[in-house]
Structure 1
Amino acid sequence: MSTDKTTAAPREQFTGQVGFILSAVGSAVGLGNIWRFPGVAYENGGGAFLVPYLIALLTAGIPILFLDYALGHRFRGGAPQAFRRVKRWLESLGWFQVMICVLIAVYYAAVVAWAASFFVYSFGLDWGDDPEAFFFGEHLQLPKSAGVDTVLTFDFVAAVLIPLVLVWVAVIAVLAAGVVRGVQRANVVFIPLLIVAFTALVVRALTLDGAVDGLNLLFTPNWSALGDPNVWIAAYGQIFFSLSVAFGIMITYASYRRRRSNMSGPGLVVAFSNSGFELLAGLGVFAAIGFLAADAGMAVADLSIAGVGLAFVTFPAIVSEMPAGAFFGALFFGSLVMAGFTSLVSILQVVSAALQEKFALSRRAATIGLGVVLGTVSVLGFSTTTGLILLDTADAFVNNIGIVASAIFMCVFVIWFYRRGPELRYHLNAVSTFQVGRWWYVCVGAIVPVMLIVMLVQYVITRINEPYEGYDTTYLLFAGWGSVALLVVGAIVFTLPRWRGRDEFAAWPPYPVDTVSEQKGAVR
């Protein structure tokens, strides 16, 4: 096998471990950490939910994160190239993951744009006395229902259109600057700022009247919930979606690390940092909700604690009642912008890297090309009066079907069919301080696929029997199931062209694990 120095094209690299960790944390910590975790925890046993959550982190989140890291670092490429080097036809699985990123990017940018608008609104508390009417009415101008005709609606909303364009300009600029000067530098600046800003917000929320009532609601355990299989499925789903695994991000980021870079140690830091931020968000959200409930003379359980309603309806109502509300509103929505922006950068980096590697494009050409195309689709689809409905539908189907299916395929083909587990484990242990044991095979080869297959089957049956959110079935056929079909079609279309970039691969260290004896003795 040829050496890497003579055959492989020069590849951008993170400057060090800190830059990589902050970039990976920036991808994992996103909008869902702030508004999804508190609601999921509350709905699934409160404090008792932390038990299956921790088990899911150890048996699914970290093992799949390690699988992503091993694939990217070992095979030195974005998702399509890494899977192509496992087995040539598996390139299509890589493009399936790229297509997931394409669809997520076009609607995720819209949520970042909403947060940017509300950051500006915070200084004057412009949402007034009825944040719900302001968000859904004046800000989004949402129609009363979703029918098939909404697919063709192009009534633009200026309050979304302008910040959305600015978000795309900013993210294109960051990606065009490169891995170090753009991606890494943005995360090195934004992630510490995000942690400081959100910690300040949480500390203030904990001192508000009624905060204890909110925390009691979150942490009072309902132990009987542990006997409900749906609670365990919810825990695995939360860990899985919040770590940015199985759709190319961590594979791509790992490919930018130097050859002799510690991989498993930083993986643990990223995983526990992500979960730590979710717990921090839970503290702040429930403390603030407890304050709002006490101020309004309501029960905490009667307030919305999940989804976009938490971020853009409940929290504006909270900061309107808080002392120095404008300041803390700016902190909250500024945190949302930073968390969302760093995640958006990581999502688009997957697409950019794949295009550069397959079609031999320069970073600038790939970035500008995808930015213009996806930015246009994003603006046309999500800055209109029906943008929220389309976003909600696409997000539900892409996350619950696309990403889950992607992870199942990864485990089945990489671990079961082609038995690359020993090689990947050996690679992680050869470069890392934290040694990955044989438990990893059990997790990625059995626990993860079984849990995800159950989740996928359950979700598909539910969507067939119950139209999502009661939306028009014809609309769901286009916007929901059509999104899933687009993932498959896109994967096929991008796999078919001839590979134009340099495709030589030199493994490092030079240890192809080809024989049964080597596989058994890969790591003892």
Structure 2
Amino acid sequence: MADKNEWGSNLSFIFAMIGSAVGLGNIWRYPYVLYSNGGGAFYIPYIVAILLMGIPFLILEYGVGYDFKSSFAKAVKKIDSRCEYLGWFLPVCVFVIMIYYAAILGWDGIYVILSFFKGWGADPNTYFTVSLLQDSGNYMGLFHFLPIIAIAMLAGWVIIWCISHRDLESGLGHVSKVLVPVLFIIMVGIVVFSLTLPGASIGLSELFDPDWSLLSNFGIWMAAFGQIVFSLSLGMSIAFTYASYTKDDADLITNTISIAFANSLFENFAALGVFSILGYMSLQSGTPVEQLVAQGTGLVFIAYPTVFNVLGQWAYVLGPLFFLTVYLAGLTSILSTVEPLSFSIQNKFGLSRSRTMTILIIVGALLSMIYATSFGADLLGYVDTFINQIALLFGVIVECIIFAWVFNAEKLIGFLNARSKTIKLGKWWLVIVKYILPIFISIVWIGGILDVAAASSIDQTNFTIATAIIVLVTTVVLTKLPAKNPDWDKADERI
């Protein structure tokens, strides 16, 4: 069967994009960001960030992606051949994310099994950091291999391969139409149950108690814009790639609004569940909510198991459902992170989708084994910080300039408006994507660099430099390798 890179329907495109946006960050990052940045007051900069950056930038990515109907690297090369490096840089960065996401997926896969019998024991913190991860705290841990984590990660890679190496619609398209609704249904069930727990109101009052004074603080605005960049996967070349797979009659503006709304709904709904459970924990333990709040792995693999330990028989239902939800969220996100690099390689080197995906997943699986070591958790944090706060944001800024200025975003307006059943674009959109977005994202980027520089240890600095070198060398190699596909230099615009 020949490979085909096209969505079977607009619904497949929408569900795949929602699956890409709805991920681990919605469950473990957003509730903490909301709480620590003014509670209810955070919604003002949050909504501004969605309207001012999230939706306008997605429309830009979708519009250019649809215009070229080609991979990100090929389109950027066509816009300006000197920018081909960026065309490979962003997909490579996203592929790096896929590699370490596989580690988190592996951890969660283990917890799906553990949740049926509370296998983390009476002290979830000790189990996670000492028994499971065997965290060494230094780079010598790279020489201590953890087979159980490696097996769990490889199981995830097999699932990813089974879905992604097939034709786009029969693989990712069909799976997204099943996984995304299931993901939302399970989350609704978890949240509804969480709201009935004694003490839920304690957590919710803490979450939504607005601190209006923080609105004058630059930090809350930077946090809101940073959250939208990460939550909607802006500038990661995923939206561009997915839009290039769409059919000719796609209403990209309406799709953008639907995807942004669904993502926002999911992460705010997840926040209700998280803080209802934290309120319950506070009531049971007598510990104030502010001392229980955490982000990242601490929330998912320590705080939640602590709750399940005192939840009684309901824990044997809620626990597996929760960790299955996290697994599905991670899976839908990971499936999107391989697409930009895969499609670019297919375009340049003339390989089939199935062969390209197989090669990339084998490479990704092998490289991911570095996280199946006692230094894996620390290394994951270092790489994630570099990719998200430095590399990707830099790429977003440059991408915004290339698409809005060099490509000239103005020529997209007529085409997008002709298919839109909702809002119409005008000069206001051009002002946002040409001027406001590059400035705001640059501010967030500079803030991220300063945060990383201030908090970095010697180990983090060294591994950040090593990651940067690997990403840049890979980018240069893919750019310089001669194209095998005669159509590589024939990416003609359609608009």
Looking at structure 1, the residues matched to 118 and 431 of structure 2 have their Cα atoms a distance apart, in angstroms, of 52
Percent of pairs with identical residues: 33
Q: What displacement does 1:419 show? A: 5.0
Q: In 1, distance between residues paired with 2:113 and 2:262? A: 29
Alignment of 1:242-257 (within 5 A): 242-257=231-246
Give the whole-Å Cα distance in 1 for the aligned partners of 2:478 and 2:195.
Answer: 50
Residues 154-178 of structure 1, C-alpha deviations (whole Å, 9 max, x = no match): 3221231111001111111111112
Q: For the Cα contact (< 8 Å) 1:355–1:361, is it kept in 2? A: yes
**Structure 2 counterparts to residues 64-103 of structure 1, below 5 A:** 64-103=57-96
The one-letter code of the counterpart of 1:492 is V
Q: Does 1:495 align with 2:469?
A: no
Q: How far has the Cα of 1:18 moved from its partner?
A: 1.1
| CA-to-aligned-CA distance 1:249-299 (integer Å, 9 cap, x gap) | 111110110122111111110011001101001100000110011011111
**Matched-pair contact (CA < 8 Å) for 1:356–1:366:** yes
Of the three residues 197, 206, 212, the one matched with 1:208 is: 197
Q: 2:324 aligns with which of 326, 334, 346?
A: 334
Conservation of the 8 A alpha-carbon contact between 1:38 and 1:305:
no
Name the amino acid aligned to 2:494.
W
1:350 corresponds to which of 335, 340, 365: 340
TM-score if structure 2 supplies the norm length?
0.96
Which residue of the partner structure matches residue 187 of structure 1? 176
- Alignment match of 2:421 (pick from 421, 424, 433): 433
**Residue aligned with 1:77, SS:** coil
For 1:112, the equivalent position in structure 2 comes to: 105
Cα deviation 1:178-228 (Å, max 9, x = unaligned): 211111111111111111111100000000000001000110100001010
Is 20-29 or 258-267 further displaced after alignment?
258-267
Residue in structure 2 matched with residue 124 of structure 1 by the alignment: 117
Instruction: Tell me the distance in 1 between the aligned counterparts of 2:491 and 2:415.
Output: 15
1:296 to 285, 295, 305: 285
Cα contact 1:320–1:326 (8 A) shared by 2: no
Deviation at 1:460, TM superposition (A): 2.0
1:495 positional shift: 1.0
1:478 shift after superposition: 3.1
Segments of structure 2 that go 5 or more residues without pairing to the other structure are: none
Count of aligned residue pairs for this structure pair: 490
Instruction: Give unmatched runs, 5+ long, in structure 1.
Output: 1-8, 510-524
Matched AA of 2:243: A
Taking the aligned partners of 1:372 and 1:202, their CA distance within structure 2 comes to 37
Change (3 A) 1:158 1:132: same
Give the 3-state SS of the residue equivalent to 1:480 in structure 2: helix
**Is the Cα–Cα contact under 8 Å of residues 35 and 310 in structure 1 kept in the other structure?**
yes
| Correspondences of 1:311-330 after superposition (within 5 Å) | 311-323=300-312, 324-330=314-320
Specify the alignment match of 1:519 in structure 2.
Answer: none
Cα distance in 2 between the residues matched to 1:467 and 1:224: 26
Inter-partner Cα distance in structure 2 for 1:11 and 1:158: 37
Tell whether the 8 Å contact from 1:467 to 1:476 is kept in structure 2 after alignment: no
TM-score (norm 1): 0.91
Q: Deviations over 1:46-102 (max 9, x none)?
A: 110111001000001111111111121111112101212222222221101111112
Moved more, 498-507 or 296-305: 498-507
Contact 1:70 1:424 in 2 (8 A): yes
Residue identity opposite 1:505 in structure 2: A
RMSD between aligned residues: 1.6
How far, CA to CA, are the matches of 1:11 and 1:183 in structure 2? 12
Whether contact under 8 Å (2:3, 2:167) holds in the other structure is no
Amino acid at match of 1:208: L
| 8 Å CA contact 2:17, 2:259 repeated in 1 | yes
Q: How far off is 1:461 after superposition?
A: 2.8
The verdict on how the C-alpha distance between 1:451 and 1:485 changes in structure 2, with shifts beyond 3 A counting, is farther
Match of 1:36 in 2: 29
What amino acid is the match of 1:431?
A: R
For residues 8-65 of structure 1, what are the alpha-carbon distances to aligned partners after superposition, in whole Å with 9 as ceiling and x for unaligned? x995211111111110000000000001000011111011011100100000111111
**Which of the residues 146, 154, 159 maps onto 1:165?**
154
Deviates more, 1:433-442 or 1:133-142: 433-442
